[in-house]
């Protein structure tokens, strides 16, 4: 299993030291998120501060950015990192696109995201292989590229593209054309087995693609610490996240797998009434353990394998402070020994297809 560390987002001066420390500790990659700050600036800094770790966006909101803009950003990160960039994309929901980003929500987000990924690859093939840019879809059309605006071929693999996928159609599309799927934290092992993995595998089968070249990441939480008190604090953080996400009806198919729809309905009513701080108390320890691997540092590797093993190929794990560097390195190596189906991205130019 690949182990990923989170980068600081609000302090650029902290990014370089954090990225170097993650590389030294044995993490497979570092990842930034698009929340209150731009996510590509930390990745740029981490690119210059490291030599081996993967650099990933987890995730960049796609639709507010033209695929041409995204293609340029990804190309430069890939070129300057020597082929270590992994582009993670997501749609966000309709309300955020229309009201936070002022971007029209047009047609099916699944169809639009499919075109987005196809357009990226068409642009990259134009730059790397000199192919004529001629992508025309329902949502995106790219037919002009002149030498002045074409970066030189870099001789590196195509950038792998993973997408955040929640619904059955997006999961299937991810398996059909993407290099990976980023599962939402509001997932249980049963939901991944019965719903998410089944849809992804259907997409892979439809495209004749092997599971070994497709990375599944996320799909839950990790609550760990040096002692029981710290673990309890982390469980409370997870408890709040479960209550927050579980109040949204979009995620109720997860509750359905455990006959807990009534809990989701109660959380929804509480959210409507503004009882956000009281909602976490409705989430029992047993429910927390459905969504998270829980345990002290001496227990957490076995807990991660029991919760995610055989299903998930990569997990974002940041050990709470204070964790001695030597212990972190040992834990990371133990997690990396957990076997997974994923063997590597198929991103050479003869295999990667638009």
> For the segment 239-277, what is each residue's pLDDT rounded down to a tens digit?
999 999 999 888 899 999 999 999 999 999 999 999 999
Residue-averaged pLDDT of the chain: 95
Is 243 inside any structural domain? no
In a domain, 8, yes or no: yes
**Is 124 domain-assigned?**
yes
Considering its fold, how many domains does the chain have in total? 1
Cα 50 to Cα 37, 205, 296, 332, 347, distances in angstroms: 22, 37, 30, 18, 22
Output the six-digit token pair for 100: 């936070």
Res 111 pLDDT > 90 = yes
Q: What percent of the chain has pLDDT over 70?
A: 97
Token digits of residue 70: 């995204």
User: Residues 58, 32: contact at Cβ < 8 Å?
Assistant: yes
Determine the pLDDT at residue 119. Answer: 98
181, 216 Cβ separation under 8 angstroms:
yes
Between helix 325-336 and helix 300-308 the angle, nearest 10°, is 30
pLDDT digits (tens, 9 = 90+) for 284-303: 999 999 999 999 999 999 99
Asked, for residue 283, whether it belongs to a domain, the answer is no
Using alpha carbons only, how large is the chain's radius of gyration in Å? 20
pLDDT grade, residue 353 (50/70/90)?
A: very low
Least Cα distance to 118 among 163, 83, 156 occurs for 163
Q: How far apart are CA 137 and CA 239, in angstroms?
A: 43
Residue 214 lies in a domain: yes
- HSE-CB for 74 with a 13 A CA cutoff: 29
> Would 73 be classed as within a structural domain?
yes
Give the pLDDT of residue 352: 55
- Provide the pLDDT for residue 264: 97
For the stretch 36-48, pLDDT in tens is 999 999 999 999 9
pLDDT given at position 321: 53
Question: CA-CA distance, 190 to 169, in Å (whole number)?
Answer: 19
Mean pLDDT of 311-338: 83
Q: How confident is the model at residue 328 (pLDDT cuts 50, 70, 90)?
A: confident
Query: How many CA atoms lie within 13 Å of 38's alpha carbon, on the beta-carbon side?
Result: 9
Q: Which domain holds residue 46?
A: 2-225+295-336
Q: Residue 198 domain-assigned?
A: yes
* Spatial distance between the Cα atoms of 174 and 215, rounded to a whole number of angstroms: 10
pTM: 0.93
Q: What is the pLDDT of residue 351?
A: 63
Cβ 184 vs Cβ 245: under 8 Å: yes
How many CB atoms are located within 10 Å of the residue 111 CB?
Answer: 15
| Cα 242 to Cα 220: distance, rounded to the nearest angstrom | 10
Structure tokens that stand for 180 in this block: 């990976």
> Please, are residues 7 and 29 in contact by the beta-carbon 8 Å criterion?
no
User: Under DSSP, is residue 351 helix (H, G, I), strand (E, B) or coil?
Assistant: coil
Q: Is residue 344 within a helix (H) or strand (E), and if so which, with residue range?
A: none
Task: Give yes or no for a contact between 132 and 126, defined as CB atoms under 8 angstroms apart.
Answer: yes
Q: Tell me the residue ranges of DSSP E strands in the chain.
A: 2-6, 29-32, 54-57, 60-61, 85-90, 135-136, 141-142, 161-165, 180-183, 215-218, 221-225, 292-296, 314-316
The pLDDT of residue 354 is 42
Average pLDDT of the residues in 147-173: 96
231 is a domain residue: no
Query: pLDDT at residue 134 above 70?
Result: yes
- Please determine, for residue 234, whether its predicted confidence score (pLDDT) is greater than 70: yes
Higher pLDDT, 74 or 251: 74
Domain holding 144: CATH number?
Answer: 3.20.20.30
| Cα(309)–Cα(338) distance, integer angstroms | 7
* pLDDT value for 325: 55
350, pLDDT greater than 90: no
Q: For the chain, first and last CA: distance in Å?
A: 28
């Amino acid at each position: 299993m690949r182990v990923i560390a989170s980068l600081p987002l609000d302090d650029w001066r902290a990014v370089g030291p954090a990225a170097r420390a993650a590389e030294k500790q044995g993490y497979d990659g570092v990842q930034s998120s698009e929340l209150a700050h731009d996510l590509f600036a930390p990745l740029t800094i981490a690119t210059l501060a490291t030599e081996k770790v993967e650099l990933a966006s987890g995730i960049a909101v796609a639709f507010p950015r033209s695929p041409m803009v995204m293609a340029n950003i990804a190309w430069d990160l890939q070129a300057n990192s020597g082929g270590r960039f992994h582009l993670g994309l997501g749609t966000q929901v309709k309300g955020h696109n229309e009201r936070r980003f002022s971007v029209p929500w047009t047609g099916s987000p699944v169809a639009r995201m499919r075109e987005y990924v196809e357009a990226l690859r068409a642009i990259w093939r134009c730059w790397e292989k000199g192919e004529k840019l001629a992508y025309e879809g329902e949502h995106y059309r790219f037919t002009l590229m002149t030498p002045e605006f074409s970066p030189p071929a870099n001789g590196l693999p195509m950038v792998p593209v993973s997408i955040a996928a929640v619904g059955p159609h997006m999961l299937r599309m991810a398996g059909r054309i993407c290099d990976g799927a980023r599962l939402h934290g509001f997932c249980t092992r049963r939901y991944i087995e019965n719903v998410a993995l089944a849809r992804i595998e259907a997409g892979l089968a439809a495209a004749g693609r092997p599971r070994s070249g497709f990375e599944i990441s996320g799909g839950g939480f990790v609550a760990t610490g040096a002692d029981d008190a710290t673990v309890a604090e982390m469980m409370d953080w997870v408890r709040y996240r479960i209550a927050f996400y579980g109040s949204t009806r979009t995620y109720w198919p997860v509750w359905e797998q455990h006959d807990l729809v009534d809990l989701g309905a109660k959380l929804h009513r509480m959210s409507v009434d503004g009882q956000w701080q009281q909602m976490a108390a409705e989430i029992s320890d047993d429910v927390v353990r459905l969504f998270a691997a829980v345990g002290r540092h001496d227990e957490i590797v076995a807990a991660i394998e029991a919760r995610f093993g055989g299903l998930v190929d990569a997990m974002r794990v940041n050990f709470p402070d204070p964790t001695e560097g030597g212990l972190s390195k040992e834990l990371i190596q133990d997690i990396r020994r957990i076997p997974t189906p994923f063997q590597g991205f198929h991103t050479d130019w003869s295999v990667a297809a638009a």
